[in-house]
Amino acid sequence: MSEKAGVVEGWVSNVKTVGKITFIEVIDDLSISPVTVVVKRDSVDAETWSKASSMKIGSAVRVEGVFPDIIVSRKGRELQAKAITVLSEPIELPPIDLTGKTPASFDLYVDFRYLALRLPRFRAVFIARAKLVEFTREFFAKNGFLEVHTPKLVGAGAEGGATLFTVDYFGQKAYLSQSPQLYKQMLMCGVPRVFEITPYFRAEKFSTPRHLNESWGLDVEMGFIEDEEDVMKVLEEFIGASINYLRMEVGDMLKTVGLSLIDPPSSIPRITYSEIIDILNSIGYNIQWGEDLDTQAEKSLGEYLSAKGTPIYFITKYPWDAKPFYIMREGDNLSKSFDLDIKGIEVASGGQREHRYHELVQNLKAKGLSLEEFSFYIKAFMYGMPPHGGFGLGLDRLLMTFLGLSNIREVVLFPRDRFRLIP
């Protein structure tokens, strides 16, 4: 006999009594397949049988028993119950069907996220998210980047004040950081490579499935570069490696819940902004050089390039006028910038930065920004600031595009938009 005594703790997702046997499905651990607890009336005492046959779906239970050699139920794991403890019972009918048979509305799955997490599909997505975050850290730490934490309460925003939440900071006006941009650049005057995993805050009145007012991102900055190509190489390697890691770690789990990962790219093409304009104009758009791409144009571009086998691509050399002050110019009108897009959705944005003090001051002035407000930042460019570059990447957006999901709210536990501050 190789039967092993064991304990299962988790939530009841289904109960069925067939004659003298009750089958209780229990979601335990961080797995997406339930354990089937088998309770035989002839093998347990009357109290245990009564608990089993009157078990409420949604209850938190602890079951002691044995893992049998031969499995009766169709779903992977099985425990023959000896004793059952009901730890907690629903005191009203759960607002979403915990057996997973009847789907609920999108909003109910957000409002009751903790209940949704008992269902395989939601559980799988948030396990994948944790794995992506884990891999991100390991990748950059292994590549010699120092993990840092920069302030979220700041006196100046990287792109001016218009899109910042304001905070009353002991009578002073403070902002919530929309990115570590200024701080990670200042650090380039003291350490060669940094990264940060951090919440971003942005006070814009978005109404799209790809924007939130609070989300988590990865910021990377590296010194002593030749140009922005050095940065793109690191990002390119990260993208491929992270898809491969997720495939290995959670590929099967995702498949079980009907989700599939994007294919890892063998390489990511660099397409210039000018080429992008030509492509768009060749498929019916009429965009002047220098104009920003709107959501519809981005989407069409994504469809066009995906159809050509290129769902992941860099857009390089934007007009400098379309980029923030800290991006280095290339010639008179261009910039050493890039965006990384996946199927028409921008997931990262970066470039080489202007590291030369006088040129940086000129750039600030050209964008109409206050030298006074940014004085703490430009000071860092006076003491041997090396050439550097980096990028900011939306981790939520990255996972959303990796999984082909259409709404960023599917990968954020408690999303924040202007209509949703609770829960």
Binding of its own copies at residue 207 (CB under 8 A)? no
Residue among 89 and 263 whose Cβ is closer to its own copies: 89
SS3 category, 39: strand
Q: Is 202 one of the annotated binding-site residues?
A: yes
The H or E element containing residue 122 is: helix 120-142
The length of the chain in residues reads 423
Stretch in the footprint of its own copies (CB under 8 A) among 152-160, 300-308, 318-326, 402-410: 152-160
CB 170 within 8 A of CB 155: no
Q: List Cβ neighbours of 292 (8 Å cut-off, separation of 6 or more).
A: 322
CB 374 within 8 A of CB 175: no
The contact pattern for its own copies, residues 284-323, with x = CB under 8 A and - = no contact, is ----------------------------------------
Binding of its own copies at residue 70 (CB under 8 A)? no
Residues 230-259 close enough to bind its own copies by CB under 8 A: none
Residue among 18 and 382 whose Cβ is closer to its own copies: 382
Q: Is 416 one of the annotated binding-site residues?
A: no
CA dihedral 134, 135, 139, 142 (to 10 degrees): 50
Binding of its own copies at residue 357 (CB under 8 A)? yes
DSSP string, 289-305: TTPPP-HHHHHHHHHHH
Measure CA 358 to chain center. 37
Single out the residue of 84, 188, 218, 345 in contact with its own copies (rule: CB under 8 A): 188
Binding of its own copies at residue 113 (CB under 8 A)? yes
Residue among 127 and 347 whose Cβ is closer to its own copies: 127
Measure CA 279 to chain center. 30
Q: Going along 105-240, which residue ranges are E strands?
A: 146-147, 153-154, 166-169, 172-176, 193-201, 214-223
Q: Is 278 one of the annotated binding-site residues?
A: no
Binding of its own copies at residue 283 (CB under 8 A)? no
- Token pair 């898809």: residue: 243
Specify the amino acid at residue 134: E
Residue 375 burial (CB count, 10 A):
10
Single out the residue of 76, 199, 290, 404 in contact with its own copies (rule: CB under 8 A): 199
Binding of its own copies at residue 385 (CB under 8 A)? yes
The contact pattern for its own copies, residues 81-110, with x = CB under 8 A and - = no contact, is ------xxxxxx-x----------------
Single out the residue of 187, 218, 234, 297 in contact with its own copies (rule: CB under 8 A): 187
What gap in Å lies between CA 251 and CA 246, rounded to an integer? 6
What gap in Å lies between CA 5 and CA 99, rounded to an integer? 27
Binding of its own copies at residue 59 (CB under 8 A)? yes
Beta carbon of residue 388, minimum distance to its own copies (angstroms, whole number) = 10
Binding of its own copies at residue 174 (CB under 8 A)? yes
Q: Is 349 one of the annotated binding-site residues?
A: yes
Binding of its own copies at residue 133 (CB under 8 A)? yes
Beta carbon of residue 196, minimum distance to its own copies (angstroms, whole number) = 10
Binding of its own copies at residue 382 (CB under 8 A)? yes
What gap in Å lies between CA 412 and CA 213, rounded to an integer? 12
Residues of the binding site? 159, 202-204, 210-212, 346, 349, 353, 394-397
Residues of the binding site for L-aspartate? 159, 202, 349, 353
Residues of the binding site for ATP? 202-204, 210-212, 346, 394-397
